[in-house]
Amino acid sequence: MKESMRPCYREEDLFPRNFALCEEKPYGLLFCDPENRDSFDSNHAVIFKDRITDLGAVLKDIVSFYEEKGCHPVIYQSMLDEAWFDDEKEAFSGAGFDIWNEQQRYMLLTEENRIIPNPEITVKRIREWDASLEQIFLEAEEPWEIPVARKSSAYAGEWMFAAYIGENPAGILYSHQCGDVCRVDYMLVSKLHRGTGAGRTLVYHFAEQIRNAGVGNVFLWPDGDTPERIYYEGGFRVAETRTAGRAAYSSDRPAE
């Protein structure tokens, strides 16, 4: 994708800052929430190729940082450093890390919203956290996302929407805006209410409201084929596919 097509999204606006502690290092950013250790979003490092001269020393520093806090060390590759982790496979393995790559499809909101929302589902914008929303995460068996969503809801640039079937919360979508850029961070529907159109109805209302607010750049990385189809109906289009790298420390495999 041409650089002009990519929304200007600054490092200081990375969304984990909304709900996790962040320690800045010369080589990258270390996000951490020892009270929510099961959340990958809350506990991971992001490192940058052009800031590192001794990768082995960096990996040791990251392991020490997270183990001191009782968290499992996980590292994400910067999206600007495509396939770098694969090039450094031996260094990661020698430090006790397993790495894997995945293709991530980057989508922009550029087309008409063609979703027909379910009229029996009510969608509300959430401006203050409501504990009743926690049942969405519990029914979806993702309790670690509760602190993430709760803390995110307090962020001034948050766009959070909840879908209701009757009085029951059925799904949630949250995103955050920085300047003229908005990133969709997460969408989740309770397992009890999947197949009802709750996800599509959430995307419909989000797309309508964010456009009516005049936000010029709205983007996301879809988490799977089904969400991608829903976002496509809502007007999102794939603009680029990049190779994302992740490294996870294997505590039962000693470093070389």
- In whole angstroms, what is the distance from residue 232 CA to residue 238 CA? 8
Instruction: List the 121-125 sheet strands across, edge first.
Output: 21-25, 28-32, 44-47, 74-77, 236-249, 97-109, 217-220, 181-189, 168-178, 158-165, 121-125
Checking if the pLDDT of 10 tops 80, the result is no
Q: Which among 242, 144, 235 has a CA at the least distance from the CA of 188?
A: 144
pLDDT of residue 13: 55
pLDDT classification of 174: cutoffs 50, 70, 90:
very high
Does domain 3-104+242-249 fall into CATH 3.40.630?
A: yes
- In whole angstroms, what is the distance from residue 250 CA to residue 248 CA? 6
112-234: CATH architecture: 3-Layer(aba) Sandwich (3.40)
| Mean confidence (pLDDT) of the chain | 91
Checking if the pLDDT of 8 tops 60, the result is no
- Please state the rounded mean pLDDT for residues 194-198: 96
| Count of alpha carbons within 13 angstroms of residue 175, beta-carbon side | 25
Domain boundaries, the chain: 3-104+242-249, 112-234
Measured in residues, the chain has a length of 256
For residue 79, give the 3-state DSSP assignment.
coil
- The answer to whether domain 3-104+242-249 and domain 112-234 are alike in fold is yes
pLDDT classification of 242: cutoffs 50, 70, 90:
confident
Q: Which among 103, 81, 113, 83 has a CA at the least distance from the CA of 240?
A: 103
At 16-50, the pLDDT tens digits run: 888 999 999 999 999 999 999 999 999 999 999 99
| pTM of structure | 0.87
Per-residue b or e along 31-66, where b marks 16 or more CB atoms closer than 10 Å to that residue's CB: bbbeebbebebbbbbbbbbeebeebeebbeebbebb
Q: Which structure tokens are listed for 141? A: 């068996």
pLDDT of residue 163: 98
pLDDT of residue 5: 38
